[in-house]
Structure 1
Amino acid sequence: MSPRPAARTVAAVDLGAESGRVVAATFDGHRLDLDVVGRFPNGARPVDGVLRWEFERLWGHVEEQLGTLGRDRSVASVGVDTWGVDYGLLRADGSLLDEPTCYRDPRQVRAMAEAISLVGREALYAATGCQTMEINGVFALLDDAHHTDRLADAATLLMVPDLFHHRLSGLRATEHTAASTSGMYDTASGTWATGLLDALQVPTHLLPEVVAPGTDVGPVVGALGEGPLAGTRVVVPTGHDTAAAVVGTPFGGPGGLFISSGTWSLMGVERDEALATPATAAANLTNEGGYAGTVRLLRNVMGLWILQECRRQWAREGTDLSYTDLVELATAEPPLRSVVNPNATDFLAPGDMPSRLRAYCARHGDPVPETVGAVVRCVIDSLALTYRATAEDLAAVTGEPATSISVTGGGSQNALLAQATADATGLPVHCGPVEATALGNAGVQLIALGELADLADLRRVVAASGRLRTHQPRASPAWDAAAARLRQLMTADDQARGLRDG
């Protein structure tokens, strides 16, 4: 009998829009176990009138916790995943020009309208296969190029996960899955959409080399490399957190959809190649790069951000409720009384979200949710209905109806939302693992290190390392009527944003 392989630990740094964590992932040849070294909050704040991420503070947390982990045990490699679409700018000497700007800044709404007026929505989509949405990095870069002098001292543009890999290894390149969220990268060809950027009069000399997920870019450098992480490799994982979450998703079978549920809900299907057609353009579906040549055809849905902002507003008003409390209050409310389009621009920026939800309902003639429970129920039902619309649109463009939905991330713990999703879509909903993103990040590193064979091997290990919960659908005609109402709202909002003809 061959000896059991020694356990090996890698560090998965997983940064979301609301919080971040450093996770030690240990693989013993059979199971992949996670140990959270530490967590820390994240959020954008206004600086000089622009929403910015506190990169230096985040790096301080990451550096401290990686040091703690390295002093505790041997770490074979480290990799970072973050939210998508945002970038940072480096000077020629490698220093960060300023704190990266946030996709929720109102300037991006204006810049998207400008881009559509300059080249048309069709050209934006044809060049990239990327969903036209205000959050796309191309619109921030357009604003930088036309309305600020921010680019004057910039030499290199890096997506946010790549900024951390630059600090860890000195790498000045961007990772494929992160680049694919920017709105200036053609996922089908794996190249920057320089023709589009030329048409928008946006400089292309800032764009770096693109590397594949799973690339070993060398040892950790700096204080960490000279100390607690001496000998640790930097393995670039799937840098976009959704790509990592899908890598770590044990699908329920062929025809399964995924929902990576957190601040954003990204819902789609994993494919072998991009699908950018007039039908996907009309449905505003996006093609994002995945691991091992896969592509995720998906839609960005505003997700739990709306509920997160509601909770923050209620806390400011003196009512501090946990997410468990909020779901309990919503459970006592009748379903489908009020419906909103979660992707309406009303809900993009930070602020008094309960008031915005009430104003939206009043403007569209829906009952106004007055209580905390009614507001939360409105958000949950609206998300479930949006998942239904997305599932229908994906089936229409691919010709392949879904058979199930796999939900990962923090939102997989919300039983009310999971059951509402099953009821709305008529599909079984499999929930878990919660930590799919960290599992996917670590798994890509372990494949690069030779500990796992491939993506299928990783998903087999993930499925064996945790338990899933399944919610079966309950038929009700009320969901059909509410789904038709949501479609009306989506059409009206898209027309207002210039994404659909009036």
Structure 2
Amino acid sequence: MKYAIAVDLGASSGKMAIGHLEKEKIVIDEYRNFVNRPVDIGTALYWDVFSLYNSVLDGLTYFQKYGGTKTVGIDTWGATFGLLDAKGRLLEPVYHYRDRRTVDVMEKLYKNIDAKMLFQWTGCQCNRTYTLPQLYEYVIEQNPILKFTSKLLLLPDLLGYFLTGNALTETTIAGTTGLLEKSMDKWSERVIEKYELPRTIFGTLEHSGVSKGRLRKDVIVDTGADMEVLTVAEHDSASAVLAIPKLKEGDLYISIGTNISMGVETSKANTSDPAFYSGLKNTAGFGGRTIVYRDFSACWHLNEFIRTCRGEGKNYSFEQIVGMAEEDACTGPWIDVEDLDLCKAGGNYKEQINLFLSRTNQKGISEDYEFVNCIHQSIAMKVKHYK
């Protein structure tokens, strides 16, 4: 029997699954989960990509008990990237997209190209977590790192590079950069030029289903696995939309994770004035399709609550968090899950919630179950009333 391995990385955890085809149906044989814990050092926030890579290697080793595994593919959240030098080495740790270095970058970004024009060119309405603002921060600060950069690889392609030694850039994950033309099939030369970014660091775009090559010899020795690495729909939202059965053009989807993404899959980008003023975004979907959507922070707020509780000596699992949630009432208090202050990583998240409640003339809370209910109810109400 031929097996395939899927790697799905989220902002708080990763999953690996092994499965096979059975009468044109995908059968999942087993899951394997692991933690993704960002690293906070001084004022900087990083992703622990080496821990993630080791977790993937451990999973490849574990799944060898099935035998006959032919391929592996990786999807992740968007916008996160690594910078490689001419010898293929990482030039710096991989920054978290919520690292505070980009807190003030958006005003400067839109002085160069106004928001509406950038939307008309790229279909993207950037916030500071996108790749473009992160790269532009280097330019603003005259950081010399871009001069030494040979290639930029987004996270799933970076991990694929670690596994194979081959550097490819898949289209759906490139769609999270804010640096593609609205056709979602090529880099925007005019955006790259306007923001003084080195064109040479952006590789050729490849569609899903292309081989990255076989595992490196040292990986084969370490894991016992000898297989091909494929580009999948590497942006997790694109994979989620692709996996929805019988989704037709114009059907609304809702994908829930660290962020909630709500939208439709279409044949081309929507860059109309109504789309711009409604806050819609466009990103690359599978097979040359375009996803028109809006998104906002969701389970990220729960992750921040869990992080704060961990600092208090309470190591809650997601199962325990769900168990705290009351099912009987949406009585408040409420937070705005898009509030800029609440969406800054770090600090005591319980205190931040109570500061928001004070600013909005709501009563403060203190019990953990109250915070959990507040977050869950606020996410649900945001979905219900999102316009």
Residue 375 of structure 2 corresponds to residue 375 of structure 1 = no
Residue 178 of structure 2 corresponds to residue 195 of structure 1 = no
TM-score normalized by the length of structure 1: 0.71
Give the drift of 1:46. Answer: 2.8
Kindly report which structure 2 residues correspond to 1:145-184, keeping only aligned pairs within 5 A, or say none.
145-147=139-141, 148-184=143-179
Retained in 2: the 8 A contact 1:15–1:82?
yes
Unaligned runs of 5+ residues in structure 1 are 1-6, 394-502
Deviation per CA, 1:294-346: give whole Å up to 9, x if none: 21111221011101211222232244444444444441674142222211221
The amino acid of 1:360's aligned partner reads F
Using the TM superposition, name which of 218-227 and 140-149 deviates more.
218-227
Retained in 1: the 8 A contact 2:249–2:266?
no
Residue 253 of structure 2 is matched in structure 1 by 258
Give the drift of 1:189. Answer: 4.5
Residue 31 of structure 1 is matched in structure 2 by 25
Residue 123 of structure 2 corresponds to residue 132 of structure 1 = no
Residue 63 of structure 2 corresponds to residue 75 of structure 1 = no
Deviation per CA, 1:1-54: give whole Å up to 9, x if none: xxxxxx421111111111113221222224322244532211221346321111
Retained in 1: the 8 A contact 2:97–2:130?
yes
Retained in 2: the 8 A contact 1:273–1:294?
yes
* Secondary structure in 2 matching 1:150: helix
- What is the alpha-carbon distance in structure 1 between the residues aligned to residue 78 and residue 313 of structure 2? 33
Which 4+ runs in 1 deviate beyond 6 A? Answer: none
- What is the alpha-carbon distance in structure 2 between the residues aligned to residue 295 and residue 67 of structure 1? 36
Using the TM superposition, name which of 254-263 and 320-329 deviates more.
320-329
The amino acid of 1:128's aligned partner reads T
Retained in 2: the 8 A contact 1:369–1:378?
no
Retained in 2: the 8 A contact 1:91–1:156?
yes
Deviation per CA, 1:174-207: give whole Å up to 9, x if none: 1100000111112424111221232222222211
- What is the alpha-carbon distance in structure 2 between the residues aligned to residue 323 and residue 212 of structure 1? 35
Q: Tell me the matched-pair count.
A: 384
Residue 304 of structure 1 is matched in structure 2 by 299
Unaligned runs of 5+ residues in structure 2 are none
Q: 1:388 to 1:182 in 2, by over 3 A?
A: same
- What is the alpha-carbon distance in structure 1 between the residues aligned to residue 315 and residue 59 of structure 2? 29
Residue 110 of structure 2 corresponds to residue 116 of structure 1 = yes
Residue 398 of structure 1 is matched in structure 2 by none
Residue 288 of structure 1 is matched in structure 2 by 283
Using the TM superposition, name which of 353-362 and 26-35 deviates more.
26-35
Considering only aligned residues, what root-mean-square deviation do their CA atoms show, in Å? 2.3
Using the TM superposition, name which of 338-347 and 86-95 deviates more.
338-347
Deviation per CA, 1:199-235: give whole Å up to 9, x if none: 22222221111100111233222323467333x2221
Residue 342 of structure 2 corresponds to residue 347 of structure 1 = yes
- What is the alpha-carbon distance in structure 1 between the residues aligned to residue 118 and residue 97 of structure 2? 18
* Secondary structure in 2 matching 1:135: coil
- What is the alpha-carbon distance in structure 2 between the residues aligned to residue 49 and residue 149 of structure 1? 20
Residue 87 of structure 2 is matched in structure 1 by 93
More helix by share: 1
Residue 193 of structure 2 corresponds to residue 209 of structure 1 = no
Residue 59 of structure 1 is matched in structure 2 by 53
TM-score normalized by the length of structure 2: 0.91
The amino acid of 1:94's aligned partner reads G
Q: Give the one of 218, 229, 242 matched to 2:225.
A: 229
The amino acid of 1:155's aligned partner reads S
* Secondary structure in 1 matching 2:103: helix
Percent identical residues: 26
